[in-house]
Amino acid sequence: MGTLSNQVVIQKLTARFADKISVPTEPFGLLTLETNTETIAEVLRFLKEDKELQFNYLTDITGIHYPEQELAIGVIYHLHSLTHNVRIRIKVFLSAANPSIPTATTLWQGANWMERETFDFYGVQFEGHPDLRRILNVDDMTVFPMRKEYPLEDPNRVDKKDLFFGR
């Protein structure tokens, strides 16, 4: 248990951002909230630079795809206050047609590869990223493989064809 309670974090965030952020929830004790592309850079900067909160460590940036949602592509930030040992999770949802969000590399250098990975798998454009190109997949890949519209299986696989199973 950290020295900073979630309630303090919630109070400071709502005082600063009011209706620009969603009502924070605490699933499994992990403080979680949602915001939008206009506010995310400001939220991250506030959390990092506020003297009391000091969320100075960016644990991870990941993506998610919910094809049934209007804003289908999600970007999720996990921050950790090493001073207080408190964590927070921030979600931003973007339209699948043009998923674009400001970069976090201006705050944390470590965001560089995390954003490249999220771009690699979900096609999220991080505006202001110094070198946004694929990091894990082969360079000539044309799709964003973690999006649901692309099949997981390799199309070259021949031994799983129906005719081998009498179908």
Partner 1 sequence: MSELTIVEAPPGIEGSGFFATSLDKVVGLARSHSLWPLPFATSCCGIEFMATMGSHYDFARFGSERPSFSPRQADLLMVMGTIAKKMGPVLQQVYTQMAEPRWVIAVGACASSGGIFDTYSVLQGIDEIIPVDVYVPGCPPRPEAIIDGFNKIQELVKNESLRRRESPEYQALLAKYGIQ
Q: Does 167 bind partner 1 (CB under 8 A)?
A: no
Gap between the Cα atoms of 140 and 121, Å rounded = 13
CA quadruple 143, 113, 109, 63: dihedral positive or negative? positive
- Compute the C-alpha angle 160/134/45, nearest 5°: 125
Q: Which is nearer to partner 1, 70 or 139 (CB)?
A: 139
Count of residues that interact with partner 1, criterion CB under 8 A: 15
Query: Tokens standing for 68?
Result: 């049934």
124-153 footprint of partner 1 as x/- string (CB under 8 A): ------------xxx----x-x----xxxx
Q: Does 160 bind partner 1 (CB under 8 A)?
A: yes
Please state the closest distance from residue 100 (CB atom) to partner 1, in A.
24
Please state the closest distance from residue 3 (CB atom) to partner 1, in A.
43
Q: Taking a C-beta distance cutoff of 8 angstroms, is the pair 35, 77 a contact?
A: no
Q: Does 156 bind partner 1 (CB under 8 A)?
A: yes
Q: Does 66 bind partner 1 (CB under 8 A)?
A: no
Q: Does 162 bind partner 1 (CB under 8 A)?
A: no
SS3 category, 113: helix
Q: Which is nearer to partner 1, 1 or 158 (CB)?
A: 158
Q: b/e per residue, 124-163, with b = 16+ CB within 10 A?
A: bebeebeebeebeeeeeeeebebbeeeeeeeeeeeeeeee
Q: Taking a C-beta distance cutoff of 8 angstroms, is the pair 53, 26 a contact?
A: no
Residues in 25-64 at the binding interface with partner 1, rule: CB under 8 A: none
Q: Does 154 bind partner 1 (CB under 8 A)?
A: yes
Chain positions contacting partner 1, by CB under 8 A? 136-138, 143, 145, 150-154, 156-160
